[in-house]
Amino acid sequence: MKVYIPSPLRSYTNKANLVEGEGASISEILGNLDKAFPGIKFRMIDEHGRIREHIKLFINEDEAKNLTVSVSGGETVHIICALSGG
């Protein structure tokens, strides 16, 4: 499946905005993503497995509010950083 990477995380993906992901759940996808790009998961997920406050994960157009949400092979995962600040 495709995983869209927001610009603040592209330092981990050699600037790629779209990478291949593997897994049957958000948790597995992020775990595999972290194996390919070490360190990227902790910037989105805290030490207790919670999605950080201003990060949102979408499967196609549906928000995944926790890491247990299932993902099928044909879907697209979007990682979104909130827009704010000055």
Partner 1 sequence: MTTATKSTGTKTANLFVGTRKGAFVLKANTDRTKWDLSDPIFLGHVIHDFVADTRAPGVMLMAAKTGHLGPTVFRSTDGGTTWTESSKPPAFDKVEEQAAEESGEHKPELVGQTDLSEKPADAAGKAKRAVLRTFWLTQGHDSEPGVWYLGTAPAGLFVSTDNGDTWSPVKGLNDNPSYTKWFEFGETPDGQFLHSILIDPRDKNHMYIGVSIGGIFESIDKGENWSPLNKGIAADFLPNSDVEYGHDPHCVVLHPANPDRMYHQNHCGFYRIDRPDNQWIRVGENMPEGIGDIGFPVVVHPTNVDKAWVFPMDGTEVWPRTSPEGKPAVYVTTNAGDSWKRQDKGLPREKAYLTVKRQAMTSDHSNPIGIYFGTTGGEVWASADEGETWQCIARHLPEVYSLSALES
Q: Kind of pairing, strands 18-20 and 2-4?
A: antiparallel
Q: In whole angstroms, how far apart are CA 83 and each of 7, 13, 55, 86?
A: 12, 21, 10, 10
**Is residue 61 near partner 1 by the rule CB under 8 A?**
no
Write phi, then psi, for 7 (nearest 5 degrees): -60, -35
**Is residue 2 near partner 1 by the rule CB under 8 A?**
no
**Is residue 67 near partner 1 by the rule CB under 8 A?**
no
Identify which range of 20-28, 29-37, 43-51, 59-67 contacts partner 1 by CB under 8 A. 43-51
Which chain residues interact with partner 1 by CB under 8 A?
Answer: 8-9, 38-39, 42-50, 52-55, 81-82, 84-85
